[in-house]
A and B are shown apart, each in its own frame.
Chain A
Amino acid sequence: MSGHVVPVWVYIAIFLALLALTATTVGAAFIDMGPFNTLVAMAIAVVKMLLVVLFFMHLRSSSSLTKVVVAAGFFWLMLLMAFTLTDEFSRYWTETPSGWGAATSAPPSSR
Chain B
Amino acid sequence: MTDAAMEHTAAHPRFLAHHFTDIEQQFEAGTLGMWLFLITEIMFFGGLFATYAIYRLMYLSAFEAGSHLLDVKLGAINTAVLIGSSLTMALAVRAGQTGSRKALIVFLILTMLLGGVFLGVKAHEYHHKWETGLVPGFHWGPTEEVHLHPEAALPHVELFFCYYFFMTGLHALHMIIGFGIMAVLVWQAARGRFDGGYYSPIEVSGLYWHFVDIVWIFLFPLLYLIGGRY
Enumerate chain A interface residues (CB-CB to B < 8 A). 1-2, 5-6, 8, 11-12, 14-15, 18-19, 22-23, 25-26, 29-33, 37-38, 41-42, 44-45, 48-49, 52-53, 55-58, 62-63, 65-66, 69-70, 72-74, 76-77, 80-81, 84-85, 88, 108-109, 111
Q: Which chain B residues numbered 32 to 77 have a C-beta less than 8 Å away from chain A?
A: 32, 35-36, 38-39, 42-43, 46-47, 49-50, 53-54, 57-61, 72, 76
Task: Give chain A residues whose Cβ lies under 8 Å from the Cβ of B58.
Answer: 108-109
**For residue B36, which residue of chain A has the nearest CB?**
A69
Q: Does B110 contact A (CB under 8 A)?
A: no
Cα(A72)–Cα(B42), bound, Å: 10
A88 touches B80 (CB 8 A): no
Task: Give chain A residues whose Cβ lies under 8 Å from the Cβ of B230.
Answer: 29-32
Cα(A100)–Cα(B43), bound, Å: 38
Among all A-B residue pairs, the 8 with the closest Cβ atoms: A73-B39, A77-B46, A41-B221, A15-B87, A108-B58, A29-B225, A73-B42, A56-B90
Task: Give chain A residues whose Cβ lies under 8 Å from the Cβ of B39.
Answer: 69-70, 72-73, 76
Cα(A35)–Cα(B211), bound, Å: 28
B80 touches A70 (CB 8 A): no
**For residue A63, which residue of chain B has the nearest CB?**
B28
The verdict on A22 contacting B80 (CB below 8 Å), with A30-B228, A69-B32 known, is: yes
B94 touches A26 (CB 8 A): no
The residue that B225 contacts in the complex, of A18, A41, A62, with Cβ under 8 A, is A41
Cα(A63)–Cα(B60), bound, Å: 42
Task: Give chain B residues whose Cβ lies under 8 Å from the Cβ of A109.
Answer: 58-61
Distance in angstroms from A59 CB to nearest chain B CB is 9
Task: Give chain A residues whose Cβ lies under 8 Å from the Cβ of B86.
Answer: 15, 18, 52, 56
Q: Does B15 contact A (CB under 8 A)?
A: no
A6 touches B94 (CB 8 A): yes
The residue that A22 contacts in the complex, of B23, B46, B79, with Cβ under 8 A, is B79
Distance in angstroms from B149 CB to nearest chain A CB is 13
**For residue A50, which residue of chain B has the nearest CB?**
B214
Task: Give chain B residues whose Cβ lies under 8 Å from the Cβ of A58.
Answer: 203
The residue that A56 contacts in the complex, of B28, B47, B60, B210, with Cβ under 8 A, is B210
